[in-house]
């Protein structure tokens, strides 16, 4: 029970210190508010979620610990496949759904992107914008229990149906702390980059600027490049290059 105003006044009338009592009462009220908040956050909200829940509600059940992008470019620099391995940390007692998005900036038509089956899940719902951006919610084959599996991996892949040369950069904005983001990029050797570099910046336009010598990666005849970024927080990270 938290002391009411009348009870405080009663103690003051018999000599108690008003300021001290008010501080104790306010601390108790703050404690009750914090307890109610904790109860809301630990009440397994995902138990009430369905596949029609909002993307924000679905993503609120987990946090992202690391991401690895595996990207393949074919002839003339056309993006062919994009696989992403996402390591998830459970933020709720049970996680049942996972959401991801994608688009091909070089060819913004409907039907350019398709989701390839690449994991132990089934598509619960998907939506495509007029510019070909896909938002996908998948249902995991088995709900993941936080008490049993604090981390788990989700793999998804986009296939691209286009003949448009990709823009010469790959990057993403990481809005919250993430331990790791990695890029593994394979170019058709005949259509590889003239030069390639890593980017890490708070500036969204970083990929469009000329690199410093420290940013450049060694070009090779095999067309494969790999770059790891660690401890990212509110930054743009990725790769950029010049086509031949």
Determine what percent of the chain is predicted with pLDDT higher than 70. Answer: 80
SS3 53: coil
Q: How confident is the model at residue 118 (pLDDT cuts 50, 70, 90)?
A: confident
**Least confident stretch, 26-35, 37-46, 60-69, 96-105:** 37-46
- Copy the structure tokens of residue 76: 């003339």
What per-residue string of b and e applies to 186-212 under the rule 16 or more CB within 10 Å gives b?
A: bbeeebbbeebbbbbeeeeebbeeebe
Confidence of residue 61 (pLDDT cuts 50, 70, 90): very high
Look at 4-18, 93-107, 219-233 and tell me which has the smallest mean pLDDT: 4-18
Spans of all domains in the chain: 5-41, 54-64+71-167, 168-244
Give residue-wise pLDDT tens across range 142-172: 999 999 988 999 999 999 999 999 999 999 9
Calculate the CA dihedral of residues 45, 137, 240, 228 and round it to 10 degrees.
50
Q: Can you name the residues that pair with 86 across neighbouring β-strands?
A: 67, 154
pLDDT exceeds 80 at position 38: no
Q: What is the pLDDT of residue 176?
A: 92
Q: Which of 196, 202, 212 is nearest to 235 (CA)?
A: 202
Structure tokens at 129: 């914008």
pLDDT of residue 220: 79
Model confidence band, residue 191 (pLDDT cutoffs 50, 70, 90): confident
Identify the helix (H) or strand (E) that includes residue 94.
strand 94-102
pLDDT confidence tier of residue 229, bands split at 50, 70 and 90: very high
pLDDT band for position 43 (50/70/90)? very low
Model pTM above 0.85: no
The Cα–Cα gap between 152 and 148 comes to 10
Cα 58 from chain centroid (whole Å): 12
Asked whether the predicted pLDDT for residue 223 surpasses 50, the reply is: yes
In the chain, % of residues over pLDDT 90: 71
How far, in Å, CA of 227 to CA of 55, rounded? 29
Q: How confident is the model at residue 207 (pLDDT cuts 50, 70, 90)?
A: confident
Q: Average pLDDT in the 183-212 region?
A: 92
């Amino acid at each position: 029970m938290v002391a009411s105003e009348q009870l405080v006044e009663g103690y003051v009338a018999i000599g108690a210190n008003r300021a001290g009592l008010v501080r104790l009462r306010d601390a108790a009220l703050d404690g009750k508010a914090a307890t109610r908040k904790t109860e809301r956050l630990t009440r397994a909200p995902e138990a009430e979620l369905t596949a029609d829940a909002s993307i924000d509600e679905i993503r609120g059940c987990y946090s992202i610990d690391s991401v690895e992008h595996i990207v393949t470019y074919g002839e003339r620099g056309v993006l062919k496949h994009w696989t992403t391995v996402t390591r998830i940390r459970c933020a709720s007692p049970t996680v049942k759904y996972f959401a991801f998005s994608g688009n091909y900036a070089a060819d913004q038509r409907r039907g350019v992107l398709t989701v390839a089956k690449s994991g132990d899940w089934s598509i619960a719902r998907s939506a495509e914008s007029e510019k070909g951006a896909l938002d996908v919610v998948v249902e995991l084959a088995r709900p993941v229990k936080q008490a049993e599996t604090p981390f788990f991996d989700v793999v998804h892949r986009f296939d691209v149906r286009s003949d448009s040369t990709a823009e010469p950069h790959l990057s993403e904005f990481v809005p919250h702390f993430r331990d790791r983001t990695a890029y593994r990029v394979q170019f058709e050797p005949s259509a590889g980059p003239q030069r390639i570099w890593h980017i890490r910046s708070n500036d969204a336009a970083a990929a469009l600027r000329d690199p410093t010598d420290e940013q450049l990666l060694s070009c090779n005849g095999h067309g494969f490049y790999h770059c790891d970024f660690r401890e990212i927080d509110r930054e743009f990270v990725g790769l950029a290059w010049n086509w031949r």
